[in-house]
Chain A
Amino acid sequence: MKKNISLIFCVVFLLSVGAVRAQTEFSYAKAYQDYEYNLSQYNSAYENYKLAREQYLQFKTITAKDEAKAKTLTMLQTRDNTVKTYLTALRMKIKETDGIPNAEEEALYNRIDPEVKWYTDHKGRLESAGSLEDLVTDSDEAKDHYTFTNLLIYDSLINILSGKTANLRSVITANIVDLKTIIAIIRQNQDKDVSLMERSLPDIENKLARSQDKEDEALKSNSPKTFSQSQSLIQDSYLYLKEANTYLLEIVRQIKSK
């Protein structure tokens, strides 16, 4: 009896370790891989659907209609799966991107999770469709809902992009603090002229401020229609960061030279 209990305990322990490991191993890379696989499934199902649809519209037979129904069902299921896995990949990317404020991150999760559930439920409902017409109605339902999903997608994307620049800006800001400390020490030692370096620091800080402004603007005007505009604002923000970092390196070089 004791032997059996210890055996059960061991099995439960091993299973739980495995489950925990599987959970911790789930990353953006894995989520993206899932999405890519589902997208390829959708593309293949879509081709089959197109062919079955053409045949049905041409011959209008019951067999062709049944075939069209079957292919439409598969296509709609893979389409729901694609959106679901894409949203999951987006969620994982948000999770792995440093620089997105926690509140924003949580707000995005709170919007993504119900969306994933919606597509899971929608996919589950598809199987019960009695006719091709019912499937078309189900598809229209997803079409209407996707307008809402699309807003969330672009909102998430711009937050991911701005998170990247925000993260680097905070690192550079910390570097400026370190540099100011070093310059203060050199000034105290009075063995090197640091006036030029001190004068150039506000310029660098202005670059960081401009980078922040561009990022804020990008986040403000975000929508699927203005995405490319927001993207170019993030690009500008990134260029300001690059310039600021180059200037900082130049100051360090000056410190290291006589």
Chain B
Amino acid sequence: MKNLINKVVVFVSPYISKIQAYYFSLSPKLKKLLIIAGGMLGLLLAMLIIALVVKSISNRPVKRVVLPTPAVTALPTPVELTNPSKYATDSAVLKLEENLKDNENKLNNLDIKESNLYPPQLDFEINFPL
């Protein structure tokens, strides 16, 4: 490992010293400009890294807790009369109510379009152009 680091240092050091020499040869104005540009580049890189991290977190599948669906039980909902009259139990009234509820069911289930009875699509344009 040490050998590898030494090799890298030996390989890189001439380039670093060249850059250093180039940097020191620059005018103070250019040095400032270079620092500002470097800073901006660093800032951009940092923002890019942050964006990538945020994206990877948001894309991670979230473990969902599956809640058992309660079984739907159809309960009759009787309309209770809060203040029933003496006619509430009258047989004629009850019979009429039953008939009207029966009508309601029929009306709700009535197939008013009968679309399954629409005529079939048949081709009557039979020809053999010669």
Contact = CB atoms under 8 A, between A and B. Distances in A.
A42 B124 CA distance: 12
Contacts of B125: 143
Contacts of A68: 128
A182 B87 CA distance: 10
Contacts of A182: 87, 90, 92-93, 96
Contact of A72 (B82, B116, B120, B126): B126
Nearest to A133: B128
Given A161-B112, A179-B96, A256-B85, A168 B120 contact: no
A165 B114 CA distance: 13
Given A132-B128, A175-B99, A248-B100, A255 B122 contact: no
A171 B128 contact: no
Nearest to A60: B130
B104 A255 contact: no
A257 interface: yes
B103 A172 contact: yes
A186 B86 CA distance: 10
Interface of A is mostly: helix
Q: Chain B contact residues (Cβ within 8 angstroms of A): what range?
A: 35 or more
A160 B114 contact: yes
Q: Chain A contact residues (Cβ within 8 angstroms of B): what range?
A: 35 or more
Interface stretch (A10-18, A102-110, A233-241): A233-241
A253 interface: yes
Contacts of B88: 256-257
Interface in A214-258: 231, 234-235, 238, 241-242, 245-246, 248-249, 252-253, 255-258
A30 interface: no
A238 B110 contact: yes
Name the 8 nearest CB pairs between A and B, nearest first: A143-B124, A139-B126, A256-B88, A258-B83, A258-B85, A252-B97, A249-B100, A245-B103
Interface of A: 32, 35, 39, 42, 46, 53, 56-57, 68, 72, 75-76, 79, 82-83, 86, 89-90, 93, 132-133, 135-136, 139-140, 142-143, 146, 150, 153, 157, 160-161, 164-165, 168, 171-172, 175, 178-179, 181-182, 186, 191-192, 231, 234-235, 238, 241-242, 245-246, 248-249, 252-253, 255-258
